[in-house]
Homo-oligomer: A and B are copies of this chain.
Amino acid sequence: MEAKKHTYDWPRPAVTVDVALFTAAGAMQSLQLRVLLIRRGEAPFVGHWALPGGFVREAEGLEAAARRELLEETGLGEIRFEQVCAVGTPGRDPRGHTITVLYAGLARGDAAVVARGDASEASWFAVDELPALAFDHEELLRRALAHLRRRLGEAPICDALLPAEFTLGEFQRLVEVLLGREVDRRNFRRKVECLVEKTGRNRREGAHRPAELYRFVPGAFERAERELPF
């Protein structure tokens, strides 16, 4: 390895991006927060489940790399990304010193997934029923989840995770999953009424009264003067 002028002489660490892509899915009362995993088709950890991700290319932005890897391995595009952190613990990758930049991706509803590229299989898993993961991806996933929880009050996370039309029950369930505790239904509805509007349609589902469907009012999160006290 040759040292160019103004750069340094040590071997460079590799740089990867990994994406924890989340979605809120499942029938209302059993709505789950799910994360997209791929089964690795290449060594190391062949056959293990892992977060989609891969090496950053020359002159490629970090978020662009995350987008590209996600598209290559799962066919998903048009996703909102939030950077979570960079992790470079020595020894975390058996291939050598590797620094990864972790992104949380937010997908609406269940998106269709195909396995391609380095992935031999791709599928959604409920975040509380995970298989063993490759590398330190369990740790990465914990961090991505913690990031989502912190961001819940400050940003339109739910907007990006729920389908375009949803019931207030689903919205509430999602918030409860992220918060890790239950909230009062009437108080919840009061707090979010400035963010959503009825679509006029409703959803017939199971042996009970149909639920009104709502959508997010565009820009409502930005207009909300304070952060939401969920």
Contacts and interface: CB of A to CB of B under 8 A. Distances in A.
Interface in A74-117: 83, 85-91, 95-97, 99, 101
A7 interface: yes
Contacts of A83: 85-86
A88 to B, nearest CB: 4
The oligomer's copy count stands at: 2
Interface string A196-225: 000000000000000000000000000000
A57 B88 CA distance: 11
B101 A86 contact: yes
A130 interface: no
Contacts of A181: none
Nearest to A59: B90
A1 B99 CA distance: 19
A61 interface: yes
Interface in A108-157: none
Dominant secondary structure of chain A at its interface with chain B: loop
Contacts of A10: 55, 57-58
Contact of A62 (B43, B91, B99): B99
A174 to B, nearest CB: 22
A13 interface: yes
A75 to B, nearest CB: 21
Nearest to A1: B1
A8 B55 contact: yes
A83 to B, nearest CB: 6
Interface of A: 1, 4, 6-8, 10-15, 42-44, 54-62, 83, 85-91, 95-97, 99, 101
Closest 8 CB pairs of A and B: A86-B86, A62-B88, A8-B55, A12-B12, A86-B101, A59-B90, A6-B95, A10-B57
